[in-house]
Amino acid sequence: MKKILVFHNIPAPYRLPLFRKLCEFYDLTVVFLQRKEKGRLWKIKDEDLNFSHFFLNEVSFSLFKKNLSVNHGISSLIKNMSPDVVVALDNSPNLLTMLQVLRVCKKRKIHFLLWTGIFPVYTLGNNFIFKIGDAIINLIRKKILYPDAQRFIAYGKECRHYLKDKYKVNQDRIFIGTQGYPYEDLIGKQFTYILEHRKIAYKRNTIVYIGYLREKKGIELLLESADLLKRNNIDVNLLIIGDGHEDVKRLIEEYSKKNKITFVGYKEGTEKYDYLKNAKILILPTLKDAWGWVINEAMYLGIPVVTTDKAMAKEMVIDGKNGYIVKAANLQSLYLAIQKMLSMPEREYLRFCEQAFATASNYGIDYAINCFRKAIESVS
């Protein structure tokens, strides 16, 4: 059995089932570079980490409001583990550690695979300092990290195109399929897709947003859309699930004074899905998103989606079939898409629901596992 060492940033709940499943095929150990990340509210129990793993000692700090982390002990770790293949996460806050991992792998002639979700707006920010930082990181990727990565495990199609067009990575080195999930873990083994449930949701006219409350998620545009719907005499209930920046919470409170908005804060597990399953539409108006896991979650429940061209999970949205893709930061486009879906006949809406469920079913755990196995087997 091949020995695989995976370097990952934090124990994210949507990644843990992937690691458990990979253990069925490989002698797998996951090395977490951080115990938690600022802004992440997930609660990970010890029993959730029921696979070979450990946490590296870290030094985390903030630079220009960006989280950064460095780790030590990489060389001795890889020497002692002596893996056949190393899979490293391409994540800007952990870039220094990944360069050290690459250096050791080259020295010891260990296969080095890069797990990446890079996409066109994958940047630190727009001010002068951030642009300098992005230029440095981009140069490191282009000159050091990417040329020496034997294979790329990419989050989605947009990532593959970006690697090919911007970094000139040969497509034969890129494998797609890591954004899969075992839905029975995500939503619960008791869940069954039933069309009757969607008929009930159709009548409720509830639209939902789930996610971190921050400017880049496009929350203000969603609030403005809800306001515009009301002014055009379209009755709608907006449900917001999540936590985050205080200025966004204040904005929600302000709009709640004149619109039907329910803000329930951060929810997880079955409590979150009890809210989500009653929604007619999921709205993700993001200005920048490496994927958008809530799209997977909603579609598996049979909920159509309205999202933007800046969500990399847009590849799951078949425009006019299971949802709509609109231009990011465009209020009119977002409003019209929501309005169109709210006003469509029940029969057409239910077709959207069926297609949403069918699409999400193709992004299950096997989709993710097959990608990893193909990438690993291609080098070893």
Residue-wise pLDDT tens digits, 139-149: 999 999 999 99
Whether residue 190 is predicted with pLDDT greater than 70 in this model: the reply is no
Q: What is the pLDDT of residue 63?
A: 63
pTM exceeding the 0.75 threshold for the entire prediction: yes
Q: Judge if 3-182+364-377 and 185-361 fold alike in CATH terms.
A: yes
Whole-number mean pLDDT of the chain?
92
Q: Model confidence over 158-185: pLDDT tens digits?
A: 999 999 999 999 999 999 998 777 777 6
SS3 category, 364: strand
* Domain 185-361, CATH class in plain words: alpha beta
- What type of residue is 376? I
**293: nearest Cα among 231, 211, 218:** 211
Q: Model confidence over 107-147: pLDDT tens digits?
A: 999 999 999 999 887 777 778 888 888 888 899 999 999 99
Q: What is the pLDDT of residue 231?
A: 95
Measured between alpha carbons, how far is residue 219 from residues 52, 167, 234, 371 in Å? 39, 32, 20, 33
pLDDT band at 193 (very low <50, low <70, confident <90, very high): confident
Q: What is the pLDDT of residue 66?
A: 64
> Contact at 8 Å (CB) between 312 and 289?
yes
The CATH architecture annotation of domain 3-182+364-377 reads 3-Layer(aba) Sandwich (3.40)
Q: Which residue has the tokens 């231009």?
A: 327
Q: Where are the domains of the chain?
A: 3-182+364-377, 185-361
Instruction: Report percent pLDDT > 70 for the chain.
Output: 96
Q: What are the strands, taking DSSP E only, across the chain?
A: 3-8, 27-32, 53-55, 58-63, 66-71, 85-90, 111-116, 151-154, 174-176, 206-210, 237-241, 261-265, 281-284, 305-308, 323-326
Q: What is the pLDDT of residue 36?
A: 79
Interior CA angle at 314 toward 11 and 181, to 5°? 35
Q: What is the pLDDT of residue 35?
A: 85
Q: Model confidence over 339-360: pLDDT tens digits?
A: 999 999 999 999 999 999 999 9
Whether residue 189 is predicted with pLDDT greater than 80 in this model: the reply is no
Q: CA 79 to CA 185: how far, in whole Å? A: 35
Q: CA 86 to CA 79: how far, in whole Å? A: 12
SS3 category, 262: strand
Q: What is the pLDDT of residue 42?
A: 73
Tokens for 189, please give them: 């083994």
Q: Model confidence over 259-274: pLDDT tens digits?
A: 999 999 999 888 888 8
Measured between alpha carbons, how far is residue 103 from residues 110, 319, 349, 374 in Å? 10, 44, 53, 24
Tell me which DSSP letter residue 94 carries.
Answer: G
Q: CA 283 to CA 324: how far, in whole Å? A: 10
Whether residue 64 is predicted with pLDDT greater than 80 in this model: the reply is no
Pairing of strands 66-71, 58-63: antiparallel
Q: What is the pLDDT of residue 332?
A: 97
Residue 177: which region, alpha, beta or left (left: phi > 0; alpha: psi -120 to 50)? Answer: left
- What type of residue is 52? S
**265: nearest Cα among 288, 240, 283:** 240
> Contact at 8 Å (CB) between 4 and 378?
no
335-365 burial by CB neighbour count: b if 16+ within 10 A, else e? bbbbbebbeeeeeebbebbbbbbebbeebbb
Q: What is the pLDDT of residue 127?
A: 82
Q: CA 11 to CA 42: how far, in whole Å? A: 9
253-258 mean pLDDT: 96
Of 192 and 223, the one with more pLDDT: 223
> Contact at 8 Å (CB) between 114 and 146?
yes
Whether residue 309 is predicted with pLDDT greater than 80 in this model: the reply is yes
Q: Which residues sit opposite 6 in a β-bridge?
A: 30, 87
